[in-house]
Structure 1
Amino acid sequence: MITPSALAWLLWWCPLVMNCGTSGAVYLVGQDGKGSSNSVMVATLTQMVERHLEGCHLALATTDTYSTLFIQFVRNVAENEQTAAAVMEGRTLPLTTHINTTMTYLQLQHLSGLWREGQASCQVLILDFTREDIQVMIRVVERIALWTRPETRVIFVGGRETVATLLLHHALRNTRHALHIVTNTNPTQLHKLGAVVYRRCHYCSQGEAGMEVLGRWNVSAAAIPSQPMLFTEDPENYKGHKFRLVEKNYFPYTSSMRVTQEPATQLIHQDSLGTRIITAMAHSLNFTYVVHEPVDGQWGAEVDGQWNGMVRTLLLEDADVCLDLTVAPKRASVIQFAGAYIDESAVFLTTKPRPLPEYLSLVRPFTWEVWLVVVVSIVVWGVSVWLLLKVWPQALGGRVLDLKSALFYSLGIILEDPPLLPPNNPTGQMLVGWWLAGSLVIVSMYRSLLISHLVVQGKSPVINTMPELVGRPGYSWGTVRINGMLMTILGTSADPVKKRLYEDMQVLTIEDGIRRVLDEDFAYFHSTYYMRLLVATRYTDPSGYTPIHISTSRLNLYSGNSFSFRPGAPFFHRFSLARQRLLEAGLINYWMDDVINTRTREARRMDSGNGKESDTNQAISVSNV
């Protein structure tokens, strides 16, 4: 008798591959033959494969040395003009080749991961057994870890007495499609009634796993339209099933209150983005949930080869879903992530532009480049007049000006206070006319700009990007910790701006960082949404003014935040679809803004001291406009 471990080893490592058009079949033979033939079951399996499993990769397993069921099934497939061949050690062998259970690892190595490497649209495992073999098959199903392959379709072929035992077994807890086929043992009604098909349903028994009869599979051609639908989509109604959630308090993404002070205590949800998402999904899909925190209070990191935090909770199947976990490559290799529903980025805080010194109001209308042009023009015009009147006095005639007088003459015109005696020759008068016209333009521009600068006080430029921050003289910057993802991105970047930020980054607490932002030329890096909330609640006055400026440019730290699921979760696709619908409707971004605004209003009510918003009328000032 073949052992369960040996059969499981054969099932995944020692296959015989049969190409069935676009399909592939794995035919496995054990060592305890019964030799029975069941034409109805063969016909049923053949029709199921042809009508519902086209393009799938089939794996057949039995404890019989020569299973008449599978032999006839393979023949039926081959008779339908399909090619059939067995592959072993790279050689084509007859289909009836006996598989030796003592084959070495090297002989089996080239066939490892057969299903993962195939191009089939789906994978199907068909198990043929008798009542005496049920415990063997249960151990086989446990050994091959079907719970990690929820998409694999499992079909049991056996007696009616084993239906509940197999379909409700814990090893199939994640299998989305599990069927059990039972034939009618009454010879007189065998072809009339055909086979009865049972299906495992995850949530049909008051939200828990159960089984149901899909119907009878009639192998007669006339009954083809009435055959049951074997593989339905994921349920849209979880019938009150209670999911187990795990999360950490990280407002505004998640927010909850601990019931007790014990580790892994139950949490009570408070208003946050994650709370609104899961509440909407629970209402739409009809499920309930309970929330706990991780035992060690960690997010989830790999330490000495072992995961901690919420990742470990999911791996141990102590929770079904984590509402908010940052997508990272290492985490994605051990647990499932849905698509990111919101970004995780960093911004930097600086003070809002400060008023410029008033004593510089006279020179601010022009930039230094324009002032340089004006000064050079004054000198050039004065020198030109002096040269014309000095070098060619006989030809030009008239009075002669020395250099000092010519320069003051040029300056006097632009100051609208020219000398009383202009040059009395035509060339000098022409030069004076051109200079008067140019001076009129310059003076008019200066007056209008000076008035605007005196009416509206000038401020220093806003810093919104990292190049602007690095290029601003006298500025320094910092963040909350040196080992975070921000420092990793800055330290590994080839961008010289990010390298400079990494080299000069200081580490200090949030309170100290914002204090330095307010007191000196300093920039503080932190999470985007947390900074929005912090500035709005703690550094904004009742009129809505805050001295802190949040940069408009963001530095994306991760792929984003996402739902994460325990390995093999059968509800993964339905939850992902529900999240995607919320995202496409624009609700997630709207909810994030509303959560922050709601918390801001609550904080201001608490600060007011009376628990309600003030009704006192406030005068409208220029700053309000």
Structure 2
Amino acid sequence: MSLGENTTSLFEHNTPLRENATSLGEHTISLGENTIPLGGVVAEVRSLFFLDQSSQERFLEGVWGDVRFPCRALILHLTNNQLAIRFFEVSSLWQRPETRVVIVGGKSDMEALLYHSSLRNTVHLLYLAADIHKNLTVTTRLRTRPSSRGWSDHINIYRRCLYCGNGEVDVQLLQRWHPSRVLQDLKSIFTEKLESFMGHRFKIMAVHANYISRFQRDSQSPGTTMTPVDSLDVRMLKAFAAHANFTYQVWEPRDRQWGLQIENGSWTGTVSVLQDQQADFSLLLTLTSSRMQAVQFSAIYLRTTIVILSLKPKLLPQHMAIIRPFPGILWLVLTVTILLWAIALWLIQITRTWMLGSGGAQLSSTLLYSWGVLMENWTPYLPAKLTGRLLPGLLLVSCLILNTAYRSSLVAHLIVQDKDAEINTFHDLLARDGWQWGTERIGDVLIVYFQNSPNPEVKRISKELQMILKIPYASQTEDILYKA
């Protein structure tokens, strides 16, 4: 890839890796039976910055190649440091740490480029430093061997390592090489492995959370450093630091939030700091689909749950046991049924009096008669006609069934006294009349859940939620109750 002349040449070279063979010039390496495409792209990068957004994306797709490529290398002919830095930033090279980078340029340009932050995550980088004559051009014909007349006698090959300089970036001279000779000791070129950070100091973002991620502020100013306090995250951090040989300093976001997305698409809190690349990583940040678009997450090691805490169920009053065998709706239906039955019996008696001229009955008499049947204390009187006995007979049978069910249920309730129903869901909580609910300080994710949930029960819970705020880091813990 040329960073100089205003010419662009793209080519593709696809070679199937046959069984037990990978083409590397005249050498072979065993890889099994898989067929893997090999490809290359030569491009003039200067024109990238004159393209629109969509064209830039297509350009970079062509540079990085197919996702099936098991290994990627970026070879740059350097003529302009600023142009190279712009390319590294636009191509997001920092998100591809395993990409091998080889840069060919002059000695005077080396130090400024290799220590630039755009290469902060690049693990494998070689710099071929030589005095190159201005009339030297990069050929786009692969099989044309470049003339050595444009080169100085020797080329110094430098390796850039991320942490070998007492935990910081350093540049080491590997060997001096002449283009007319075979490059020696190829195995030592890309050898760096991230097994030790060699004492590198990481900047870590964290928000105090009881029992999980606890810290003590070093001052009361926003965005201060914090001292770790024994907790789950702190123990994990200390174990990682000891294993990977790194140090750290913990900072608090200026707004003391984990991260909420605001209307213009930007973020607050820890997510904003990580997105702006002002810190290396964070502790205790809940994974959400929107946050995944802004930052990269590790494996989940802790899940957030909502638990409802309430008083233990109490024994129900004993004096209410007499009505407890039947639910309220059944008592209502029973009362209305007895009333309607008494009215029907009274209407039958009135109709019979009008048609036959015999004695009738009063409404109060039929009501008392119906109530007496239900209470098993009724007058043993039945009409003489069979048709007149049908309605009282149905009532007697119905009351027999109801009384039997009531007695058996009443005995059960008296033997085993009932308790209040447990509250296990939001629906159970909303069903309680006169109840209030609240919570201690909750994270940003739960706030978004309550505010944006389409469930009407969750919306009502959020609307009436009271917050019990425990002020951390104060000399005395104060509980403040306020409406959310």
Report if TM-score (shorter chain) is over 0.5: yes
- Hey, what does 1:440 align to over in structure 2? 400
Q: Is the Cα–Cα contact under 8 Å of residues 205 and 253 in structure 2 kept in the other structure?
A: no
CA distance in 1, matches of 2:470, 2:200: 44
2:86 pairs with 1:127: no
Relative contact order, CA 8 A, sep 6+: which one is greater?
1
Q: Which amino acid aligns with 2:11?
A: N
1:175 and 2:122 aligned:
yes
List gaps (5 residues or longer) in structure 2: 16-22, 131-154, 472-477
Equivalent-residue separation in structure 2 for 1:278 and 1:509 (angstroms): 30
CA 1:247–1:339 in 2, change beyond 3 Å: closer, same or farther? same
1:232, distance to aligned residue in structure 2 (A): 8.3
2:209 matched to which residue of 1?
Answer: 250
Which of 282, 285, 290 is equivalent to 1:325? 285
1:294 aligns with 2:252: yes
- Aligned residue among 230, 234, 243 for 1:275: 234
2:98 maps to 1:149: no
Quickly say closer, same or farther: Cα 1:511–1:158, change in 2 above 3 A. Answer: closer
Segments of structure 1 that go 5 or more residues without pairing to the other structure are 1-6, 24-42, 62-98, 130-135, 184-194, 220-225, 518-522, 526-625
CA RMSD of aligned residues (A): 6.1
Supply the distance in 1 between the matched residues of 2:206 and 2:173 (Cα, whole angstroms): 35
Distance in 2 between residues matched to 1:330 and 1:407, nearest whole Å:
68
How far apart are the structure 2 equivalents of 1:424 and 1:229? Answer: 118
Matched pairs, number: 418
**Residue aligning to 1:536:** none
Q: 2:103 & 2:318 partners in 1: Cα distance?
A: 88
In the TM superposition, what whole-angstrom CA distance separates every residue of 1:140-181 from its partner, at most 9, and x where no partner exists? 54454469413243113579x99x969974553311332457
Alignment partner for residue 457 of structure 1, among 406, 418, 432? 418
Query: C-alpha offsets along residues 228-282 of structure 1, whole Å, 9 cap, x if unaligned?
Result: 598789745656655442322122441124567787435234113x234435545
Contact 1:356 1:460 in 2 (8 A): no
The letter of the residue matching 1:439 is C
Letter paired with 1:154: V
Cα distance between partner residues in 2 of 1:492 and 1:250 = 24
Given that 2:197 and 2:245 are in contact with CA atoms closer than 8 Å, whether structure 1 keeps it comes out as yes
Paired residues of 2:441 and 2:469 also in contact (CA < 8 A): no
2:210 aligns to what SS in structure 1?
Answer: coil
TM superposition shift of 1:371: 1.6
| Superimposed CA distance per residue, residues 529-572 of structure 1 (whole angstroms, 9 cap, x where no aligned partner) | xxxxxxxxxxxxxxxxxxxxxxxxxxxxxxxxxxxxxxxxxxxx
Given candidates 51, 56, 59, the residue that maps to 1:112 is 56
Q: Is the 8 A contact 1:180 1:198 kept in 2?
A: yes
Change (3 A) 1:309 1:203: same
Amino acid at match of 1:153: R
Range moving further from structure 2, 405-414 or 139-148: 139-148
Percentage of pairs with the same residue: 26
Equivalent position SS for 1:324: coil
Please tell me whether the aligned partners of residues 225 and 251 of structure 2 are also in contact (alpha carbons under 8 angstroms): yes
> Is the CA contact 2:274–2:280 (under 8 Å) kept in the aligned structure 1?
yes
SS of the counterpart of 1:278? Answer: helix
Per-residue deviation at 1:422?
5.3
Q: Secondary structure at the match of 1:365?
A: coil
Provide the rounded CA distance (Å) in 2 between the counterparts of 1:464 and 1:458.
18
Q: Secondary structure at the match of 1:446?
A: helix
Per the alignment, do residues 45 and 154 of structure 1 end up closer, same or farther by CA in structure 2, a change over 3 Å counting? farther
1:261-307 CA deviation, whole Å, 9 max, x = no partner? 787435234113x2344355456x53443232237463468999998
8 A contact 1:201–1:212 mirrored in 2? no
Greater CA drift, 52-61 or 322-331: 52-61
- What is the TM-score of this pair, normalised by structure 2? 0.59
Where does residue 551 of structure 1 map in the other structure? none
Measured in 2, the distance between the counterparts of 1:139 and 1:516 equals 55
Letter in 2 for 1:323: L
